[in-house]
Amino acid sequence: MAHIRPLSCAVRTLSHQHHAARFSSQGARYLNQSAALYAKKGKAARADDAFEDDFEDDGGDLFGGKMKAAQSKSRPAATTNVKSNMSSQGPSTSSPEESSHEKSTSKKLSYQDRVARFNTLYQFMAERIAKEPVKSPLQVRNTAWTHLFGLATSKQQMEKLVKLFPLWRDSGRPWTPQIAENFVRRCEELDCAQLALQVFTDHPKYGLDLASISAARRLLHSLHLAHPLADSITVGALYRVYNLPPLSSDLVSCAMLTSACFKNNTAESVAVADGLLPNLRKLLENTPPKEMALPAREDPWLRARTESKEKAWLAWTLAKIEKALEKQEKDFAWLREWRTASGHLQAAA
């Protein structure tokens, strides 16, 4: 990324967007509180473990060359572990990542095998991006991160991987938008969304960009229900930090933050929600309802796609916003009309 805006600057920018004029002084202070993170952790909404079956989808040889016989000499413990899992297929001539891919595509790993493979792949990567890396013809490919995220089964393992982020950056290896998306996704699935927030709010340390609107939406989704509102406000500021479209201009994101503010139900948070409503209404007016229709329940593959999940998030948050407006005896006819036309109202019934 060519330029990363300081977080404090982004918070000021967010507070001066079009909707900011409607904020109360208390609501504006919520934007300035976004630096006070991680005071306490709520219980995040549990997501399906989508990585269980598809963490290997990127596939292929994750290394720069073929596995050499010499590897067994430099890493006897790790390769022995992999070979034992591949014994039925004869002598292994593949890298740990290749073995992980081949094995995981044939059947689900047991917990013990999953932990063993995580440790093997972690060691392999750590040795090659260390300040004094091992001398080896094999180099770790970017897709190794997808395998490691998929093999992780706990917050502790994700924290262990995060400690490698600075080494990856310092070794000159690039981050890709897909790595960021996979990282956010796995953090949500393992109930450690604040770990992802920690990484993206400290770019000088970790170097990982929040490089896509889909990753930003998922990060906001993972935090807006059961974590302090300040975390969601911070994510809103990160949109500007990473040169993404402003949160107030993105329908799914704007709806989630508005819903979170209403849910917090303080004078300050409701003022922020009220400030976002004009943007939300305009975004809905400019979005054909049928474009956001939910896929049929009979099509689980389509419903599992990111685009479909985001539509479901929108449907759910708009329902919550309508309930909040009705409870406060505010006009919600415009919202009910759009939800009816999109099919969201019927889906929520």
Instruction: Kindly tell me if the per-residue pLDDT of 230 is higher than 90.
Output: yes
Whether the full predicted model's pTM is greater than 0.85, yes or no, is no
Distance CA 238, CA 134 (A): 37
Q: How confident is the model at residue 307 (pLDDT cuts 50, 70, 90)?
A: confident
Instruction: Kindly tell me if the per-residue pLDDT of 254 is higher than 80.
Output: yes
Instruction: Kindly tell me if the per-residue pLDDT of 329 is higher than 70.
Output: yes
Please give the pLDDT value at position 271.
Answer: 96
Please give the pLDDT value at position 28.
Answer: 33
The whole-number average pLDDT for the span 90-115 is 57
Instruction: Kindly tell me if the per-residue pLDDT of 238 is higher than 50.
Output: yes
The whole-number average pLDDT for the span 291-307 is 71
User: Which is higher by pLDDT, 345 or 5?
Assistant: 345
DSSP annotation of 291 reads G
Distance CA 276, CA 304 (A): 29
For the chain, which residues make up each domain, given as ranges?
1-42+232-349, 47-190
Long-range (24+ apart) CB contacts under 8 A made by 57-61 are 57/146, 58/143, 58/146, 58/147, 58/178, 59/101, 59/143, 60/101, 60/143, 61/94, 61/95, 61/97, 61/98, 61/141
Query: What percent of the chain lies above the pLDDT cut of 90?
Result: 58
For the chain, the average pLDDT equals 76
| Nearest 10 degrees: Cα torsion 52, 53, 54, 57 | 130
Please give the pLDDT value at position 257.
Answer: 98
Instruction: Kindly tell me if the per-residue pLDDT of 297 is higher than 80.
Output: no
Please give the pLDDT value at position 300.
Answer: 60
**Backbone phi and psi for residue 140, each to the nearest 5 degrees, phi listed first:** -75, 135
Query: What percent of the chain lies above the pLDDT cut of 70?
Result: 66
Judged by phi (left if over 0) then psi (alpha if -120 to 50, else beta), residue 123 lies in: alpha
Of 239, 253, 230, 177, the residue nearest 4 (C-alpha): 239
- Token digits of residue 139: 């180099």
Q: Are 158 and 190 in contact (CB under 8 A)?
A: yes
Q: Per residue in 35-69, pLDDT tens? A: 333 233 333 333 333 333 333 333 333 333 333 33
Instruction: Kindly tell me if the per-residue pLDDT of 296 is higher than 80.
Output: no
Judged by phi (left if over 0) then psi (alpha if -120 to 50, else beta), residue 134 lies in: beta
Instruction: Kindly tell me if the per-residue pLDDT of 79 is higher than 50.
Output: no
Please give the pLDDT value at position 4.
Answer: 54
Distance CA 2, CA 286 (A): 32
Q: How many residues are there in the chain?
A: 349
Distance CA 144, CA 58 (A): 9
Q: How confident is the model at residue 349 (pLDDT cuts 50, 70, 90)?
A: low
